[in-house]
Copies of this chain bind each other. A is one copy, B any other.
Amino acid sequence: MNETLLMIPGPTRVAPRVLKAMSENIVNHRSAVFGEIITETTEMMSEVFQTENQSYILTGSGTAAMEAALASVLDKGDKVLNIVGGKFGQRFMQIAEVHGAVPTELEVEWGHGVDPEDVKYILEEEDDIKAVTIVHNETSTGVTNPIEEVGKIVNDFDALYVVDTVSSLGGDDVFVDGYNIDICVTGSQKCLAAPPGMAAITLSEDAWKVVDKTPTSTYYLDMKRYRKSGSGTPPETPYTPSVSLMYAMREALYAVMEEGLESRVKRHQLAALATRNAIKAMGLELFAQPEVSSNTVTAIKMPEGVTDKELRGTMRDKYRIEMAGGQDHLKGNVFRIGHMGNITEREIITTIAALEMTLKGLELDICLGEGVAAAEEAYLID
C-alpha cells in the first residue's frame, strides 16, 4: 500500500530523513531540550515566511491555523472582506461566520484570480472592514492569487491583511513582511513536505494590537496563550504539542534551508510548467486561467466521455499514482495533480506517462509520448 506515489495537493511525500527524525524518542514538552527545538523550528519558520515576526507552530491542520487567525482578531459583528474563489476562500468566510463576524464576500469565478481593483473598490465603499482574507494558492482550482498587489492596496486602509499560504509557502514567493501581510498561516504537509498535523502562523505587531483588544472566542486556538507560553524560558506551547511532529517539522525545515527557498520555488515553478505543457500537448484543457496558474497544483478539465472513477481509479489501481478529484461543484469535472513538496522531474514524468497510458486505455485519442516529451522539454529549457 505504501508504494503509492502521492500526486495530490497534500499530504505530500515525506523524505526518509524526516520520517526518521519523527521516530525519535519522546521528550518532556516542558523542558529546556524541547524549548530549543521549538526555538529552532519557529525561527526557521519565520525565515520561510520571510518575516521578522515570531512564528508559532500549532498542533492541528491548516484549517486550525486559519481559525486561530480569524478567531483571534474578529469579534462579534466585525466586518470582514472575504475574497472567495474556491473552497478554501469559502472556508475563511465560514470560519469568520462561526465567530460572529459579518462577511462581505468578494466572489471570484473559480479558475480566475482576484482583480486587486475589486478589493480596492470594496475597501473604499465599505467602512470599517477590520480584516481582508485571501487564499494565496487556491488548492481547489489551481489558481494563485496576486497577494503582493492586493497587499499594496490593503496597506492603504485600516484593515488587517490575513493570508492563507497553506499550499504555497515553500513552493511560491511569499514575503510576509514585503507584502504587508499581517497574519499568515500555513500547513506542514504541503510544499514544506513534513507530515500532516501541524500548522504555522505568524502575526505582525498591528495584528497583535487587534488580538489584544479582541475577546477570545476559542480556547485551543487562542493566540494570546501561544504568545504567553512561547515567550517563557524555555519557550513552550500552551497545550501539549505533538512532540514527534515537531521533530519532523524541524527536519523538514532543515531540508528547506539546505535547498534554499529560491531554488525550491524555482523547482516548483518548473514542475508546474512541465505539467501544464504536458497536459496541453496531450490535448487536455487546463482549468485555471493561464496568468494565474499555480506553482503547486494543476487542475485539469475531465476529458469528454471519461469518468473520474475511470481516470483516477486506473491511475491509482493500475499505476499506483494518487491524484485528487474535483471539490464541490467541480466534483467529476476536474482532476488535480499536486506537484508540491519534494517533487522532481522523475515524479512529473512518471505521472504524465501513466496518464497517457490511462487515457489510451480508456480509448481516448492520445498520441503516446507527446505529453512526456513536452514535460522533458520544459525541464531542458531551463
Contact = CB atoms under 8 A, between A and B. Distances in A.
Nearest to A68: B220
Interface string A213-249: 0001111111000000000000000011111110010
B22 A1 contact: no
Nearest to A187: B240
B245 A242 contact: yes
Contacts of A364: none
Contacts of A240: 10-11, 61-63, 187, 189, 196-197
B196 A26 contact: yes
Interface in A52-90: 59-64, 67
A381 interface: no
Contacts of A242: 59, 195-198, 242, 245
Residue among A20, A189, A218 with the most chain B CB within 10 A?
A218
Contacts of A3: 25
A265 B219 CA distance: 32
A94 to B, nearest CB: 7
Interface residues of A, number: 58
A3 B25 CA distance: 8
Interface string A193-218: 00111100000000000000000111
A27 B1 contact: yes
A71 to B, nearest CB: 8
Contacts of A244: 19, 22, 195-197, 244-245, 248
Interface stretch (A28-36, A109-117, A149-157, A368-376): A28-36
Interface string A1-32: 11110101011111000011011111111010
Contacts of A95: 219
- Secondary structure at the A interface, as helix, strand, loop or mixed, is loop
A322 interface: yes
B6 A61 contact: no
B25 A23 contact: no
Taken together, the copies of this chain in the complex come to: 2
Given A28-B8, A244-B195, A245-B197, A61 B239 contact: yes
A306 interface: no
B26 A11 contact: yes
Contacts of A62: 239-240
A11 B25 contact: no
A2 B27 CA distance: 7
A98 interface: yes
A196 B29 contact: yes
Contact of A221 (B59, B91, B220): B220
A3 B248 CA distance: 19
Contact of A61 (B10, B198, B220): B220
A216 B241 CA distance: 25
Contacts of A241: 61, 196-197
The 6 A-B residue pairs with the shortest CB-CB distance, nearest first, are A197-B242, A61-B239, A23-B23, A2-B25, A19-B23, A63-B239
16 contacts: A1-B33, A2-B24, A6-B26, A6-B27, A10-B240, A31-B322, A60-B220, A63-B219, A64-B220, A94-B219, A195-B244, A197-B243, A197-B244, A198-B242, A242-B242, A244-B244
